[in-house]
Amino acid sequence: MSNDKSMYRRMLDGEPYIADDPSIARDSRRAQRLTHLINTLDPTDHGRRRELLRELLGTFGEGSEIRPPLQCDYGYRTSVGDRTFANWGLVCLDVATVTIGDDVQIGPNAQLLTATHPLEAGPRRDKWEYAEPIVIGDNVWLGGGVIVCPGVTIGADTLVGAGSVVTRDLPTGVLAVGSPARVIRNLL
């Protein structure tokens, strides 16, 4: 794989990159600093936590809440809509964009994972990786411990049962459970 443009530009463009490249590390350190502040803040200081989340994230909607601890790679690659709630322990590997709609409910210890790796041994050994965006539609509910894999879109009004692993897109208005998550019922 070529290194003709910066790793940072490659990452932003959705191309393979090396995550510990110095051109990317600065933004990762920024996210680590801000998440540390968020995670160690007095739990009753909602105003300051909201300020820090607005500084960290690409967008953070009105009336939304993310309970610490929160972990993310970069923060600014994640957008959170209005009136969205994420319970304790959200992990958001936002190398690619993560778009979370309005009125979304996310249970504790959920993971939104955009980062992925080549299947071939050589590029993996050389530490190449890439990422695919995640989109979570309006009024989605992700149960506790749900894992959403790279490149997945979850349609509006869909519920994903606790502990499910979402490996491919889910349509609007369904209940999906399991590993891998499968649609078991239409809700609309």
Let me know if 117 is a catalytic residue: yes
Bond prior to 180 in cis (omega within 30° of 0): yes
Which one of 29, 117, 168, 185 is the catalytic residue?
A: 117
Over residues 84-98, mean pLDDT:
98
Q: What is the pTM of this model?
A: 0.94
- In this model, does residue 89 exceed pLDDT 60? yes
Please provide the distance, in angstroms rounded to a whole number, between the alpha carbons at the two ends of the chain.
Answer: 46
Exposure letters 25-45 (e unless 16+ CB within 10 A, then b) = eebbeebeebbebbeeeeeee
* pLDDT 10s digits, 160-181: 999 999 999 999 999 999 999 9
Q: Report pLDDT for 12.
A: 87
Phi and psi angles of residue 52, each rounded to the nearest 5 degrees, phi first: -65, -40
**Mean predicted lDDT score pLDDT of the chain:** 95
Domains contained in the chain, CATH given: 7-186 (2.160.10.10)
Radius of gyration of the chain (CA): 17
